[in-house]
Chains A and B, each alone.
Chain A
Amino acid sequence: MREQPNIKIATDAIKAWQLTAHIYTLIFLLITIGAIAVYIIFDFLPIWIIFIIAGLTIVEWIITAWIIPKLRWRRWRYQVYDQEIYIQHGILIVTRTIVPMIRVQHVDTQQGPILKKYKLATLAISTAATTHQIPALSEEEASDLRDQISELARVEQDDV
């Protein structure tokens, strides 16, 4: 494929994604604890089911918290040119997207509590038909980019 974009997203993205994964794993952990409780109190479930559930929880935790964030971060790249935005992402399926500036309708920055903790923000670029996100940029970078893109984006209102 064509040369990949140059700029990587913030390194803290890994931490933010890991934290998200930890939180999701909590749900699995609760299920595991519930299963153990059922086993102890009611003596209802066979013990091997407990082991399977516990095993799955650990595997899920390792994959989503320790493997995926790093791979994802390594792949995530973007570049903003005068005429277009070039984005690459995806671990197994690598996707490269070209969004021309003149097609950009509006740009948003978004920040949830986890991203806020690491002073990160997500940039969402919308055309008339699609939306593209660059996740986990540092706050200043996200707002700079937002202003820069909205400066460069000049949709001719007439031809959508």
Chain B
Amino acid sequence: MSNPKRLHPAAILFDIIRALKQSILGILPIAIIVISNGASFYLMIGAAVIIVLIILSSVLSWLRFTYQLEEDQLRIERGIIVRKKRTISKHRIQSIDLSQNVIHRIFGLTKVAIETAGNDSSTDAALSAVSMEEGRRLHDELKYKKQVSEAGSPEVPEEADIERTELDESSLPKRTIALKALIITGSTSASFGILIGLFGAAFSQVEALIPDQFYNDAVRLALSLGMQIMIIFAIIVILFLWILSILYTVIKDWNFTITRYEKELFITRGLLEKKQTTIPLKRIQAVGIKESPIHQLFGFARIYVEIASANTDNSQEVNTVIFPLLRKKEFTSFLSEFLPEYNYSSENLIHPPKKALPYYLWRSINIPLLAVIITGIFFSSYIWIPVIIMLVFGVMGFAVFQSIGYAIDAQQITVQTRIISKDTAIIPHRRIQALQQKQHLLHRKQSLATLDMAILNKGSGRHFVIKELRTTDSDYIADWYSYQEKTSSDINH
């Protein structure tokens, strides 16, 4: 159908950057040792050799990488020494996402990421740089042609396809985040804390590099300026980091738009780096709503889905955010619009009984309690510090106890948990991989039981644990889950 094609030469650049990123971690320690021993001439030669090798291998791998669109499959050939051929059938393709980072956008290019069914990431493929039109063409060919060509003659589909999508586009459920909401997300996001941590870490590293003389002078100056100046300086730094984290969120989630198609959710976002994410509905394992304490105060929440996928690259997040910020009362309407398969019912949650509270408190305060005891023995005048920490943990334990609960609907269970953020997840019955009831000696006497439900996600699976439920409730869930009719008839406890 078409001849083998190469990627855009910019792919060489991406390959070089990737290789440099990978090798820099390995080279850096050696480089530091070499520099400190003064043999930097050899280092220069070594670095030059490595860079030349990287460039060479990138050019070669670009030369050897070809892709070809055939009747109903995409064929990719690559490899410098070992030639690898991969054929991906159209029918197996789950999603094709086009994303552009800054370099892509300068050259008018796009990355094409192809994800196939199954949990094996080795069957996925990515074209790191093709021109925008080519990307669109690939996307349309691979995605739509199959469906349309079944309906009509092979010439018409291109038009029919466009018509179809245009017609649908306006009537499809679609929602874009407002800039204001993005700023709120950024200003209350956890990335702020991470930034402070990073800044602290970077500062402690820089400290070692600053010449002693300068450092001493600076410290003397700072001390002479007095406490007020120091505090103002600290506030300025924190403010600066805070604004940075807002900017980061705004740039990352700029124009966050979610669209519901018949069989998938489609997300586009990003200001500098434009990203597309396609989430096939049948991959969704659970829908969740997460409220951090600050968000909870203002009635906001973040919506995410757990998806089964081998594709864990470039994000530490194991779940996928499908809307960064929403008023919590809008959640029900959001769900019925985008995921009507799930319904939310948090009003009639069933909570663990009062007698479970001591367990929750104990779990949250046992370590601070140890600190209190140790401090009490050795530095009894400072005992108030760990006592306050213990009280804070105790309050958190109580908050966990208050939040935890479940609600059962015919085909799905809603589980609400909390570590720091309140997390409510809706899990369809058939997505639960296995269910465990646990009970230790004390539990048995008090007729309490802990329940553990496992589902798949992008990582190694997620466990929803409800601790210290009444045995009757835990049995009720087990019977609801059980596929076997006979066991549900004879409950005894």
Task: Give CA–CA (A159, B439) in the complex, Å.
Answer: 32
On A, residues with C-beta under 8 Å from B are: 1-3, 81-84, 86, 90, 92-103, 127-130, 132, 157-160
In the complex, the answer to whether B438 meets A95 with C-beta atoms within 8 Å is yes
Which of B437, B456, B474 interacts with A129 by CB under 8 Å? B456
CB of B121 closer than 8 Å to a CB of A: no
Is B440 a contact partner of A127 (Cβ separation < 8 A)? no
With A103-B433, A129-B433, A158-B117 known as contacts, the answer to whether A84 contacts B483 (CB < 8 A) is yes
Complex Cα distance, B486 from A1, in Å, reads 16
B14 at interface by CB-CB < 8 Å: no
The residue from A82, A96, A159 contacting B436, defined by CB atoms under 8 A apart:
A96
- Would A3 and B491 count as touching, CB distance under 8 A? yes
In the complex, what's the smallest C-beta–C-beta distance from A27 to chain B, in angstroms? 29
Is the CB of B119 closer than 8 A to any CB of chain A? Answer: yes
**What string of 1s and 0s marks CB contacts (under 8 Å) between B309-328 and chain A?**
00000000000000000000
Find the residue from A2, A100, A102, A157 having the highest chain B CB count within 10 A: A2
Q: Distance in Å from the Cβ of A92 to the closest Cβ of chain B?
A: 5
- Contact status B439-A160, CB under 8 Å: no
| Residues in chain B near residue A90, CB distance under 8 A | 438
Contacts of B487 in A (CB 8 A): 2-3, 81, 86
B308 at the interface (CB under 8 A from A): yes
A85's nearest neighbour on chain B, judged by CB, is B434
- How far is B424's CA from A48's CA once the two chains are assembled, in angstroms? 56
Min distance, Cβ B402 to any Cβ of chain A, angstroms: 25
B461 CB contacts on chain A under 8 angstroms: 128-130
Q: What residues on A are CB-neighbors of B457 within 8 Å?
A: 129
Counting contact residues on chain B (CB < 8 A from A), the size range is 35 or more
Task: Decide yes or no whether B159 CB sits under 8 A from chain A.
Answer: no
Q: Are A1 and B475 in contact (CB under 8 A)?
A: yes
Which residues of the partner chain B approach A128 to less than 8 Å between Cβ atoms?
119, 308, 433, 456, 461
B483–A93 touching, CB < 8 Å? no
Is B454 part of the binding interface, using a Cβ–Cβ cutoff of 8 Å? yes
Listed by A's residue number, 9 A-B pairs whose Cβ atoms lie within 8 Å are A1-B474, A2-B437, A3-B492, A81-B487, A86-B487, A93-B438, A97-B436, A103-B433, A129-B457
Q: Which of A1, A93, A103, A157 contacts B434 (CB 8 A)?
A: A103
Whether B440 contacts A98 by the Cβ 8 Å rule is no
B contact set with A: CB distance below 8 Å: 117-119, 282-283, 285, 308, 430, 432-441, 444, 449, 454-457, 460-462, 471, 474-475, 478-479, 481-484, 486-487, 490-493
Given contacts A2-B479, A103-B433, 20 further A-B contacts (CB under 8 A): A1-B449, A1-B475, A2-B478, A81-B486, A83-B483, A84-B483, A92-B441, A94-B438, A94-B439, A96-B436, A96-B438, A98-B435, A100-B434, A102-B430, A128-B461, A132-B434, A157-B118, A158-B117, A159-B430, A160-B456
Q: Assuming the A-B contacts A1-B474, A3-B487, are A92 and B440 also in contact, with contact meaning beta carbons closer than 8 angstroms in the complex?
A: yes
Listed from nearest, the 7 A-B pairs whose CB atoms lie closest are A129-B461, A83-B483, A127-B433, A129-B433, A93-B440, A81-B484, A96-B437
For A83, the chain B residues whose CB sits under 8 A away are 482-484
Are B484's CB and A84's CB within 8 A?
yes
Residue of B nearest to A88 (CB): B437
A94 near B440 (CB under 8 angstroms)?
A: yes
Q: Are B482's CB and A98's CB within 8 A?
A: yes
**Cα distance A121–B483 in the bound complex, in angstroms:** 27
User: Within 8 Å CB of B449, what residues of A?
Assistant: 1
The answer, among A1, A102, A130, A158, for a CB contact under 8 Å with B437, is A1
Q: Which residue of A lies closest to B284 (CB)?
A: A159
Contact A98 B430 (CB under 8 A): no
The complex places the Cα of A130 from the Cα of B435 at a distance, in Å, of 10
B471: which A residues are within 8 A, CB to CB?
1
A98–B434 CB distance below 8 A: yes
The residue in chain B whose Cβ has the minimal distance to the Cβ of A92 is B440
Please give me the residue from chain A that is nearest to B479 by CB atom. A2
Q: Closest chain B residue to A93 by CB distance?
A: B440
